[in-house]
Amino acid sequence: MRSRSVKRGVLVTLMLLCVSGCARAPLGPPFERAPLPPESRARLYLFRVDERPSLATVRVTVDGREIGSFRNGEYETLELSAGSHHVRAGMRSIALVAWGWNEQRIRFAPGETLFVHLSVRLTEREQPAAAGLEIAGRQSGSASENVYIQIQPEREALSMIEGTTRLVP
């Protein structure tokens, strides 16, 4: 009985530490449009705006270079060479095991600016009722968070990115 109580206390403590560490609001400066890239270069905006709140952070690399871990409501902009670039985004679980990874190869024309929307979405799957797992009032099932990478048209992206803050490394 006491062992169960101790385990429960440790679990609650770990959850509170994660929530207090993961849930802090973005701290960077508010969104500001960067200058257009020179003719031979390109500009990339990465931004995270989720429809549903999530405590997960999204770790992003471009061509293997770490850009940072995005919380909901953060953006970053990079000046890159024209051509093809590899964007990789993913989440980490509480145990720091990588999961929910996604990647995309993006091609830039010289002088082009592209907007990439990073989003975390919950995906549900039906499970037999005997599984005994409850999700948001459902009788049974399972769910997982996944990260998505989508190129957005400039007008739509700017309306989404307005009100975000710059990523703080």
In a domain, 33, yes or no: yes
Report the run of H or E that residue 166 belongs to, with start and end: strand 165-166
Question: Stretch 54-62: mean pLDDT, rounded?
Answer: 90
* Structure confidence at residue 3 (pLDDT): 55
In a domain, 15, yes or no: no
Question: Stretch 148-156: mean pLDDT, rounded?
Answer: 96
Question: Stretch 19-35: mean pLDDT, rounded?
Answer: 72
In a domain, 81, yes or no: yes
In a domain, 13, yes or no: no
Number of domains in the chain: 1
In a domain, 19, yes or no: no
The pTM is what?
Answer: 0.73
In a domain, 84, yes or no: yes
Model pLDDT for residues 60-114, shown as the tens digit of each residue: 999 999 999 999 999 999 999 999 999 999 986 555 544 678 999 999 999 999 9
Domain extent, residue 159, equals 27-166
Handedness of CA 124, 147, 74, 151 (dihedral sign): negative
HSE toward the beta carbon, residue 143, CA cutoff 13 A: 14
* Structure confidence at residue 90 (pLDDT): 92
